[in-house]
């Protein structure tokens, strides 16, 4: 019986919290700002791939290797 009371109480509390946060207006300045400097440094240093240069060499099929 205590478990049922705990689950019901927790669900009711969660529902009230969700409804309260849904109807609460949040000002724009409280949202995270993405812009210059929002990309990690490692992502900025990646060079684009050069066209025409293969990343790996593909050898032609030589048949069954166990013959």
* Reported pTM: 0.40
d(CA 31, CA 44): 24
Give residue 3's pLDDT band: very low, low, confident or very high (50, 70, 90). Answer: very high
pLDDT at res. 64: 61
Q: Where are the alpha helices (DSSP H) in 1-67?
A: 2-23, 41-44
Q: In a 3-state reduction of DSSP, which class is residue 44?
A: helix
Q: List C-alpha distances in Å: 6 to 3, 15, 47.
A: 5, 14, 55
34-66 pLDDT per residue, tens: 766 555 555 555 566 667 666 677 677 766 655
11-37 pLDDT per residue, tens: 999 999 999 989 888 787 777 777 665
List the chain domain ranges: 1-25
């Amino acid at each position: 019986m205590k478990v049922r009371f705990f689950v019901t109480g927790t669900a009711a509390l969660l529902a009230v919290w969700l409804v309260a946060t849904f109807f609460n207006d949040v000002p724009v300045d409280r949202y995270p700002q993405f812009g210059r400097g929002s990309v990690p440094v490692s992502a900025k240093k990646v060079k684009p791939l050069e066209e025409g240069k293969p990343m790996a060499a593909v050898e032609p099929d030589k048949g069954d290797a166990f013959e």
